[in-house]
Amino acid sequence: MNKLKKILVTGATGQLGSELHVLSVNYPEYEWVFADRTQISLSALNVLENQLHAIRPNIILNCGAYTAVDKAESETELANLVNHQAVAVLANFAKEHGAKLIHISTDYVFDGTSSVALNEEAITNPINIYGTTKRAGELAALAVNTNVLIIRTSWVYSRFGNNFVKTMQRLLHERDTLGVVNDQIGSPTYAADLAQVMMDIIGNAKWIPGIYHYSNEGEISWYEFVLAIQEITGDSCEVSGIPSSSYPTPAARPTFSLLDKSKIEEIYGIKIPHYKESLKNCLTSEV
Residue 259: predicted pLDDT: 98
For residue 248, report the phi and psi dihedrals to the nearest 5 degrees: -65, 140
Q: Is the pLDDT of residue 2 over 80?
A: no
Mean pLDDT of the residues in the chain = 96
Three-class secondary structure assignment of 26-77: HCCCEEEEEECCCCCCCCCHHHHHHHHHHHCCCEEEECCCCCCCCHHHCCHH
Task: Please indicate, yes or no, if residue 78 is contained in any of the structural domains.
Answer: yes
Q: Is the pLDDT of residue 285 over 90?
A: no
N-to-C CA span, the chain: 36
Task: Please indicate, yes or no, if residue 236 is contained in any of the structural domains.
Answer: no
Task: Say how far apart CA 131 and CA 119 lie, in whole Å.
Answer: 17
Coil vs helix vs strand at 149: strand
Residue 287: predicted pLDDT: 67
Lowest average pLDDT, out of 25-29, 243-247, 258-262, goes to 243-247
Residue 110: predicted pLDDT: 98
CATH of the domain at 13: 3.40.50.720
The arithmetic mean of pLDDT across residues 115-135, rounded, is: 98
- Catalytic residue list: 130
| Element holding 240 (H helix, E strand) | strand 238-242
CA dihedral 223, 109, 154, 16 (to 10 degrees): -140
Task: Please indicate, yes or no, if residue 152 is contained in any of the structural domains.
Answer: yes
Model pLDDT for residues 145-182, shown as the tens digit of each residue: 999 999 999 999 999 999 999 999 999 999 999 999 99
- Angle among Cα 158, 206, 272 to the nearest 5 degrees reads 35
| Element holding 249 (H helix, E strand) | none
Task: Please indicate, yes or no, if residue 226 is contained in any of the structural domains.
Answer: no
Task: Please indicate, yes or no, if residue 15 is contained in any of the structural domains.
Answer: yes
Write down the pTM of the prediction.
0.96
Residue 13: predicted pLDDT: 95
| Number of neighbours of residue 47 by Cβ within 10 angstroms | 12
Task: Say how far apart CA 4 and CA 182 lie, in whole Å.
Answer: 48
Q: Could you tell me the residue range of the domain that residue 207 belongs to?
A: 5-162+188-217+258-273
Rounded alpha-carbon distances, angstroms, from residue 167 to 1, 71, 162: 48, 18, 7
Residue 122: predicted pLDDT: 98
Model pLDDT for residues 196-249, shown as the tens digit of each residue: 999 999 999 999 999 999 999 999 999 999 999 999 999 999 999 999 999 899
The arithmetic mean of pLDDT across residues 37-65, rounded, is: 95
DSSP 78-106: HHHIIIIIHHHHHHHHHHHHT-EEEEEEE
Task: Please indicate, yes or no, if residue 43 is contained in any of the structural domains.
Answer: yes
Task: Please indicate, yes or no, if residue 18 is contained in any of the structural domains.
Answer: yes
Q: Which of 96, 89, 5 is nearest to 41 (CA)?
A: 89
Number of independent structural domains in the chain:
1
Task: Please indicate, yes or no, if residue 40 is contained in any of the structural domains.
Answer: yes
The arithmetic mean of pLDDT across residues 264-272, rounded, is: 97
